[in-house]
Structure 1
Amino acid sequence: MRLSVARAVSARLAASFGFLALASAPALAGDAANFAALGFSADGRYFGYEEFGVQDGSGFPYSNIFILDVAEDKWVGGSPFRQTLEQESPTLAGVRAAAMAKAAKALADLAISEPAVIEALNGDGEVGHDGASISFGARGFGMDAPPNPVTLKLESFESTSTVPCVDSFGFPPPVGFALTLEADGKSIELHRDQSVPASRNCTVAYRPYGIVAPVNWSWNERTPVAIISVFSQGFEGPDRRFIAVPVPGVK
């Protein structure tokens, strides 16, 4: 895999998921959202994904659907589409169907109908990954190893936020992140937080979750997308949501 283009990831990351209320917060187990890739448009320009789960504290099921313009690195189509059912009894299937109904027109208008393939995954049950990096490459032929793999490395560091995490809530300072692409003996920084956006709440950690891409993305010169887990203070422990970060210039 060759590194041919590098550009900064835009401030769109600031709006990746909604601000979560911080009003009351005893701590045990947090709300770890699940991830589902909904697909790409045929030209690889648009990517849709869903995060879904059950809120800690309230026990309400939720689903959030995002549509990313991969080239412009911004949300499009009116996304995110958020659905929460304020009852503890409904199933996740019900809330997910309601969110999909909200997003259906945008997904159709942007022709998001092509499969998204998983090129790498740090799965929740996987043992042994370091939580700070993920490597991937274009698919080899048959059982061949991926040629010329690249590595994404994630760095976390103490940062600042307009959310009064320390003064009002008594939490540690929020955590920001930087994402670096290593390929061909070169390191290109794709993103570095100058401060933590309020939309991320009071962050505590980040982890590279996976790499998704259109089918035959390398041959067709499409851009893969990194999925980053974002952990923030919740009612009963760290809550996880997801950020989608385009990884331009690899093939």
Structure 2
Amino acid sequence: MNWMQPDAGLAAAARLAASGLVLLGLGLPAAAGDRALIDYVGFSPEFRYFAFEEFGIQDGSGFAYSNLYVVDLETDSWVVGTPVRKQAESETTSLEEIRAAVAEKAAGHIEGFNIQVPVEIAALIGDGVPDTDARSLDFGAPGYQAGAVSGDYTLELETFETTATSPCAEWFGVEPLGYELLLSDSGTTRLIHRDGSLPRSRGCPTDYRIHSVVMPFQGTTLSNAVAIISVYPGGFEGPDRRFLAVPLGL
């Protein structure tokens, strides 16, 4: 799913950026934004629906948050009623409490779409991997024997300036970036996704990185694969990290 709603307070972040409190794009050392983590919830038995959670501590406020997405991979869209979001109202509410509250609130969606199939990580560029721009990732379907891989695919990501619903130049002093995702297989390259004008839900991205490719357990084929893309929209103290889920089998 290539949309992403901004955290509460994006407009406030934009005002801070406009006032010079956010140093993005000014050539000065910027304070760190918040880097969301991801938890793969699972797939439905027919592999049509995929759920994941992004969570962390919001920059600026220091409040915990969690967003749980259920994606219809056939239509590349969120299912009705999701994402399920919750943010703490003070620093005294822990991340564990917020995540538990979101899990409880999303339980009807998880049960209704029968999200029960575990996720296999086919390939991953970890956050601690040095000297990579995460613009390319080789992967195949995991096999049952050690080191066994089926298929030889390459994901490639490119970024470019585009337009957005949000006034990104006014808020952050930079033009928003869109992305293009290509998949190569045995010399043949296929366009998976290319942004047009960005929806307001994406905010004002300043960068993208390939994070991982995941597949359902016992359904590890390219037709069921999902690329997870890290996206970095402007925030209170610098770019934040959120996630996009992109089906590769469409």
| TM-score, normalised with respect to structure 2 | 0.89
Name structure 1 gaps, 5 residues minimum. 1-11
The within-5 A match list for 1:110-149 is 110-149=113-152
- 8 Å contact 2:53–2:66 — kept in the other structure? yes
The within-5 A match list for 1:197-212 is 197-212=199-214
Q: Does 1:152 align with 2:141?
A: no
Aligned residue number for residue 23 of structure 1? 15
Deviations 1:65-93 (A, max 9, x none): 00011122111141100000111122211
Deviations 1:35-70 (A, max 9, x none): 000011111111110000011001110000000111
Aligned residue number for residue 175 of structure 1? 177
Comparing 39-48 with 124-133, greater Cα deviation is found at 124-133
User: Which amino acid counterpart does residue 208 of structure 2 have in structure 1?
Assistant: Y
The within-5 A match list for 1:215-230 is 215-218=217-220, 223-230=224-231
Alignment root-mean-square deviation, CA = 1.7
Comparing 125-134 with 240-249, greater Cα deviation is found at 125-134
Inter-CA distance 236–70: structure 2 relative to 1 (3 Å threshold): same
Q: Give the Cα–Cα distance (whole angstroms) in 1 for the partners of residues 231 and 79 of structure 2.
A: 21
Q: Give the Cα–Cα distance (whole angstroms) in 1 for the partners of residues 144 and 87 of structure 2.
A: 44
User: Which amino acid counterpart does residue 188 of structure 1 have in structure 2?
Assistant: R
Give the 4+ runs in structure 1 shifted more than 3 A. none
Q: Give the Cα–Cα distance (whole angstroms) in 2 for the partners of residues 224 and 171 of structure 1.
A: 36
Aligned residue number for residue 234 of structure 1? 235
Aligned residue number for residue 247 of structure 2? 246
Q: Give the Cα–Cα distance (whole angstroms) in 2 for the partners of residues 156 and 42 of structure 1.
A: 34
Q: Give the Cα–Cα distance (whole angstroms) in 1 for the partners of residues 117 and 150 of structure 2.
A: 24
TM-superposed CA distance for 1:129, in Å, is 3.4
- 8 Å contact 1:165–1:171 — kept in the other structure? yes
- 8 Å contact 1:136–1:151 — kept in the other structure? yes
Q: Give the Cα–Cα distance (whole angstroms) in 1 for the partners of residues 2 and 214 of structure 2.
A: 17
User: Which amino acid counterpart does residue 140 of structure 2 have in structure 1?
Assistant: G
Deviations 1:166-186 (A, max 9, x none): 1x2242100110000101211
Name structure 2 gaps, 5 residues minimum. 23-30
Deviations 1:203-242 (A, max 9, x none): 10000101111012236x7511110000011110110110
Q: Does 1:13 align with 2:14?
A: no
The within-5 A match list for 1:186-197 is 186-197=188-199
User: Which amino acid counterpart does residue 155 of structure 1 have in structure 2?
Assistant: E
User: Which amino acid counterpart does residue 130 of structure 1 have in structure 2?
Assistant: D
Comparing 172-181 with 121-130, greater Cα deviation is found at 121-130
Aligned residue number for residue 9 of structure 1? none
User: Which amino acid counterpart does residue 24 of structure 1 have in structure 2?
Assistant: L
SS at match of 2:142: coil
Q: Give the Cα–Cα distance (whole angstroms) in 2 for the partners of residues 159 and 135 of structure 1.
A: 27
- Find the partner of 1:44 among 39, 47, 57: 47
Aligned residue number for residue 71 of structure 1? 74
Structure with more of its chain in helix, by fraction: 2
Inter-CA distance 67–170: structure 2 relative to 1 (3 Å threshold): closer
Q: Give the Cα–Cα distance (whole angstroms) in 2 for the partners of residues 161 and 17 of structure 1.
A: 13
Comparing 134-143 with 56-65, greater Cα deviation is found at 134-143
Identity %, equivalent residues: 43
Q: Give the Cα–Cα distance (whole angstroms) in 1 for the partners of residues 92 and 128 of structure 2.
A: 27
- 8 Å contact 1:176–1:203 — kept in the other structure? yes
- 8 Å contact 1:17–1:241 — kept in the other structure? no
- 8 Å contact 2:223–2:248 — kept in the other structure? no
TM-superposed CA distance for 1:29, in Å, is 0.8
| TM-score, normalised with respect to structure 1 | 0.88
Q: Give the Cα–Cα distance (whole angstroms) in 2 for the partners of residues 120 and 170 of structure 1.
A: 33
- 8 Å contact 2:5–2:200 — kept in the other structure? no
